[in-house]
Structure formats: structure tokens, C-alpha cells
Amino acid sequence: MKASYRRDQLVTKVRDKEIRSDLYTTTLSGTRIPKVCLPDYADWGEIVRWSMLENAPGCFPYTAGVFPFKRAEEDPKRQFAGEGSPERTNRRFHYLCQDDDAKRLSTAFDSVTLYGEDPDYPPDIYGKVGESGVSICTVNDMKKLFAGFDLCAPNTSVSITINGPAPMMLAFFFNAAIDQQVDLFREKNGREPSGEEYGDIRACTIQTVRGTVQADILKEDQGQNTCIFSTEFALKMMGDMQQYFIEHKVRNYYSVSISGYHIAEAGANPVSQLAFTLSNGFTFVEYYLSRGMDIDDFAPNLSYFFSNGLDPEYTVIGRVARRIWAVVMREKYSANDRSQKLKYHIQTSGRSLHAQEMDFNDIRTTLQALMAIYDNCNSLHTNAYDEAVTTPTEESVRRAMAIQMIITKEFGLAKNENSLQGSFIIEELTDLVEEAVLCEFERIDQRGGVLGAMETQYQRSKIQDESMLYEHRKHNGELPIVGVNTFRNPRADEEGYQVPGDLARATKEEKEQQIRNLRAFQELNSDKAPAELMRLRETAIDGGNIFAELMETVKVASLGQISHALFEVGGRYRRNM
């Protein structure tokens, strides 16, 4: 192994495709920096111990990373965006991807969309249309959102951050991608595709598109609260999505992003975030197995999403997650190598952004991004400094993108891809956090597993206790936060808040246009929608695959129409008291 890493290049295989990777980067001083450094152990015991606990990146237990090397042609940058109308967010997407070979997009939706409703005039809806996210209620909106992007290009990847209405939103996205390919066929051949040709286009498209849909309903109950369907019905639809992926050979798209970010934002410390998120992941595994799916058919379609704060435990969150997942997948479920690889996205901590001395937020975000890149995250979003008070402006987003681009393109040590390995404190922290996570697993198990613990609100209570501890120590100064409770600006007012001149808000014209577009769509399909919605309800009642039916329903029905049709069958969410 050591000899192979001393060559100029190393050949690795990914899905039977040979990839040649340069093993050294030469600095301006002429120093050859190795991409991967291996230890100089001579003792067999040390070698065995290192191989079992650490190993090289791309080797079990994947502590250092699930791939031998990072993608040379694709940075981990995946910036989250969504505001106002689909057209406005589309412009922001193009801005974020300007000059990038890889188009890695991540979509934020407004709260009306997150709760499965259509834009409308009642004040509790109208005021939220297009605020803090994009308004999407029809398949036409989805087409506008990604106009100008080739959704089937190998370097395009789309993340959809939505949970309760995830099946509907994913069906919107798949249909938008299919229609995009049909348009290309029409332009090339000057005619409509035949039934067989359309079927081939449809199959090829959903097998080609890359990205992930969040869909994680367990963390919604535990932390974020945007639940709309009963938990059982939401799990049923998640299972239907994964079953559809298996039957239609969808390999490049993740059916769920098991999320710890929102658990951390609700107040959980890094250990609880990791323990709750992994335990949720294993709950999905057990549920899918109970439906008769094979572990190696669905485990590669699972991804993760974590927050990175400034606590020391965040330094090793990826290392611990990868090691626990790999060991359990191999030893408990006898899963193959591909299923053992835990892939995850990191977003720097929104909770660590403060309205006081907002410029300091970029410093916090830089350190959090550096930890994520050192820990070999698979994709990364860096928060803008002004997100404490507004949807980011173009200026603040440019600075946020520059943070991770300067790290990946300018920072010298980042040219090495396993710089955390071999550090005494990193190894000690990894073991400490792994032990703490396993102890939390036992506490959850004693309460009847994840679903049993949720019935008594165990996770929510623990998150609230940890949030209270953080707020208490921030308030009394035991937890120093520069510019907030220490080293305060003597020239600022009593609270020290900075409010930027421009706050990003959806305009009245955008809200009105969304409502007009929705009603035009509903009017156009008024003769087809009732029959399709009835067919959807019957499929749900009969225990059929709801997602497969949604692929047809979304062509003629809006998000709100579909949600209300499914409420009649699956019921609305009600929290256990």
C-alpha cells in the first residue's frame, strides 16, 4: 500500500471506471505535497490497529473518507438558495454556478411550500409566499426553477430540501427533467416522440439525474416541525419512493437525506445531533428491510446532512459517522462495499450566526468550513454573514462562496486529503465521540427505539435541555462569544445589532404572479385533475405505490390539491402529548 502511494499516480476504480489521480501537488517552493500520507509504522500490532480503526481514505472502515480521493473536477461547493419566484431563484442559481464546471444546486422553499399548500390570499399564507425560500406549487414552477441547466448532465446535481411534501416535489423534479429531455428530442428530430421513445426517455432520465431529496420525516418530529402527514403515512410514502427507485434502477439520486442539521439548529449538542441522526438512519434501514427490500438495493440511496459548529466534537463528526455506519452495515447487515459508504453534506451552523458584529460571522463560518473540508465531507454549504437577519444578498453570498473556494484552491494544507489522520487529539476525540454516540443508542433502545422514544418526546426534550444549557451559558458569559457577550464594540448601541440597508423580501408582484400562474394551471387542467386525484386516493387506500402514481398526478394537479387529497387518506400530523 505504501509503495502504491509513493508513485506519481494511482489508478482506482469507481463503478468499473478507471480513474487516474495525481498523488502529489508541487508548491511554488518546489515541495511535493502528498495527497495522502500513510504512517511509518513497523510494528505489526500498530499496523493492524491503524488498519482496523483508520485505514486509508476509500478503505474500510472509511474513517478518513469514503473515496480514495476527492473529485478533481468537482469542488464540494453546494450553496443553498431560494427566494421569491422560481425565476428569481433561477437567476441566483446561475449566479452561484458562474464559471463552475459542476452545477451543484440546493433549493430552499418558502414555508407555504414546506407545508404542502398553494400560494393564496389568506393573510397567514399570502405573507409567507416567496419569503425565506422559493414558492413552488406546480411542475411548471419546477421547470422555471431550473431553466438553463441540463438536469441530465453528469456534472449537474440538484438537492431538494423539503420533507412532508417530498414525494410531490420529487415527482415535480423528475417530470421537469423528463420534459426537458423530450424538448431536446423534439428539437433534434422535429417531431413528438412515440410512446416507446417517450418510455425510453423517461427511464433514461430518472436513471441519469443526480442529487438528493431531504424527505427525512423523523427529524421533522424531533427538531424542525414541518410535519404535515401522520408519521406512519409519511414513512409509507418514503418507502414507496425508495421502492420506485429500486424498480426503476435509480442509482444516482438519493431518496432521503437523513438530517442532523435541523436537530442541531433546534439546540442539540454535536453528540446528540450525531446519535439522533444515525439512529434515525438505522430506523429507515429497518423499515425498508421490513418491506422486503434488499439492503444493497437501497442503502446506496441514503445520504446524510450534518451541521458544523465550533464545538471540538464537530472536528470528527464525519469520521465517527462513517466508522459507525460502515461497521454496522458490514457486520450487522452483511452489506456490500457501496452500502457501507456514508456520504454526507455539511452546512455551517446557522445557529452560530449573530446579529451583533455580523462581520465576525464570516470568521466563524471559515473555521467551520475548514473543519468540514479537513474531515472529507462530500458537499458543503457556507452560510452568509447576514443570514442572522435576512435572506443572503448577492454580496454576502459571494463572500460565503469565497470562504470555501479559498480553502480548496489557495490554502496549502488542504492539498493533502487526510490531514486529520495521525493526530493524537483527533484520534482521542474520535473514540470519545463514538463511545458517547453508542451510549446514546442504548438510551434510545431502552425507550423502544427511535419511534418509541418519539412517543414520549425523548429526543425533543433532550434537544430542549441542551438548547437551554447553551442559551444560559451564552447569557451569563460562561460560553464566550466574541462581539456578543465579550469583546463588545464600545461604539455600538446597547444591544450592538447591525441591520443591513437592504432586506431580501418577496415583492407583491411576485406573490401575485405565483397566484395567477397557479390558477391558470388549475384552470387548464380542471377536466383532468379530479380523476387523477381520485386515482391517487384509491392507490393510497389500496396500499399501492403512492410515488409511482404521483409521477402522473403532478402533471395536472398542484401541490395543495395533492396534499389535501392525501390528507383524506393518510390523515394530518398530530403531535403525541
> What is the distance of C-alpha 520 from the center of its chain?
33
Up-side HSE of residue 298: CA atoms within 13 Å toward CB? 27
Point out the least confidently predicted range of 10-14, 421-425, 525-529.
10-14
Q: Does the pLDDT at position 493 exceed 80?
A: no
CA–CA gap between residue 541 and residue 565 (Å, rounded):
11
Q: Tell me which residue of 105, 216, 225 sits closest to 153, measured CA to CA.
A: 105
Bridge-partner residues for 25, per DSSP?
33
Mean predicted confidence (pLDDT) in 95-118: 94
Mean predicted confidence (pLDDT) in 241-262: 97
Higher local confidence (pLDDT), 496 or 45: 45
CA–CA gap between residue 73 and residue 81 (Å, rounded):
23
The DSSP symbol for 554 reads T
Sequence-separated (6 or more) residues with CB below 8 Å from residue 293 = 242, 243, 246
pLDDT at 575: 75
pLDDT at 152: 97
Listing DSSP states for 22-89 in one string gives E-EEE-TT--EEESS------SHHHHHHHHHHT-STTSTT-TT-SSSS--TT--SB-EEE--BSHHHH
- Integer angstrom CA distances of residue 427 from 40, 212, 318, 375, 423: 17, 31, 13, 13, 6
CA–CA gap between residue 164 and residue 567 (Å, rounded):
12
pLDDT at 49: 97
- The rounded percent of the chain whose pLDDT value lies above 70 is 98
Q: What sections of 165-228 are H helices per DSSP?
A: 166-189, 195-208, 217-219
For 317-370, give the secondary structure using H, E and C. HHHHHHHHHHHHHHHCCCCCHHHHCCCEEEEECCCCCCCECHHHHHHHHHHHHH
Task: Tell me the pLDDT of the chain averaged across its residues.
Answer: 95
Question: 321-346 pLDDT, tens per residue?
Answer: 999 999 999 999 999 999 999 999 99
All three cell numbers of 2: 505504501
Instruction: Name residue, grid cell 424542525.
Output: 224
Question: 280-307 pLDDT, tens per residue?
Answer: 999 999 999 999 999 999 999 999 999 9
CA–CA gap between residue 429 and residue 318 (Å, rounded):
12
Q: Tell me which residue of 392, 365, 221 sits closest to 307, measured CA to CA.
A: 365
Question: 465-488 pLDDT, tens per residue?
Answer: 999 999 999 999 999 999 999 998
Single pTM value for the model: 0.95
The CB density around residue 247, as the number of other CB atoms within 10 Å, is: 11
**Backbone angles phi and psi of 546, in degrees to 5:** -65, -40
Provide the 3-class DSSP secondary structure of residue 20: strand
Sequence-separated (6 or more) residues with CB below 8 Å from residue 497 = 355, 356
Confidence band for 574, pLDDT divided at 50, 70 and 90:
confident
Strands 17-22 and 9-14: antiparallel
CA–CA gap between residue 390 and residue 463 (Å, rounded):
25
Point out the least confidently predicted range of 50-59, 111-120, 389-398.
389-398
pLDDT at 491: 77
- Integer angstrom CA distances of residue 273 from 177, 214, 264, 391, 575: 34, 16, 6, 25, 21
Question: 35-54 pLDDT, tens per residue?
Answer: 999 999 999 999 999 999 99
pLDDT at 350: 95
- Integer angstrom CA distances of residue 48 from 20, 44, 432, 475, 491: 28, 6, 21, 48, 59
pLDDT at 498: 66
CA–CA gap between residue 554 and residue 531 (Å, rounded):
12
pLDDT at 119: 98
Confidence band for 256, pLDDT divided at 50, 70 and 90:
very high
Bridge-partner residues for 379, per DSSP?
345
Check: CB of residue 354 under 8 Å from CB of residue 339: no
Question: 135-184 pLDDT, tens per residue?
Answer: 999 999 999 999 999 999 999 999 999 999 999 999 999 999 999 999 99
Confidence band for 499, pLDDT divided at 50, 70 and 90:
low
Q: Tell me which residue of 14, 160, 64, 55 sits closest to 376, measured CA to CA.
A: 64
Q: Tell me which residue of 453, 425, 470 sits closest to 282, measured CA to CA.
A: 453
CA–CA gap between residue 398 and residue 414 (Å, rounded):
21
Higher local confidence (pLDDT), 495 or 38: 38
The DSSP symbol for 293 reads -
pLDDT at 224: 87
Question: 206-232 pLDDT, tens per residue?
Answer: 999 999 999 999 999 999 888 999 999
Confidence band for 504, pLDDT divided at 50, 70 and 90:
confident
Sequence-separated (6 or more) residues with CB below 8 Å from residue 124 = none
CA–CA gap between residue 271 and residue 470 (Å, rounded):
14
Provide the 3-class DSSP secondary structure of residue 192: coil
Q: Tell me which residue of 90, 73, 212 sits closest to 154, measured CA to CA.
A: 73
Q: What is the distance in angstroms between the CA of the first residue and the CA of the last residue of the chain?
A: 56
Sequence-separated (6 or more) residues with CB below 8 Å from residue 399 = 362, 384, 385
pLDDT at 495: 65
The DSSP symbol for 545 reads -
CA–CA gap between residue 355 and residue 364 (Å, rounded):
13
pLDDT at 577: 62
CA–CA gap between residue 526 and residue 522 (Å, rounded):
6
Higher local confidence (pLDDT), 497 or 393: 393
Q: Does the pLDDT at position 267 exceed 90?
A: yes
The DSSP symbol for 229 reads B
pLDDT at 79: 87
Q: Tell me which residue of 454, 444, 441 sits closest to 231, measured CA to CA.
A: 454
- Integer angstrom CA distances of residue 323 from 65, 246, 336, 519: 9, 26, 15, 51
Sequence-separated (6 or more) residues with CB below 8 Å from residue 336 = 296
Mean predicted confidence (pLDDT) in 497-524: 88
pLDDT at 259: 97
pLDDT at 18: 83
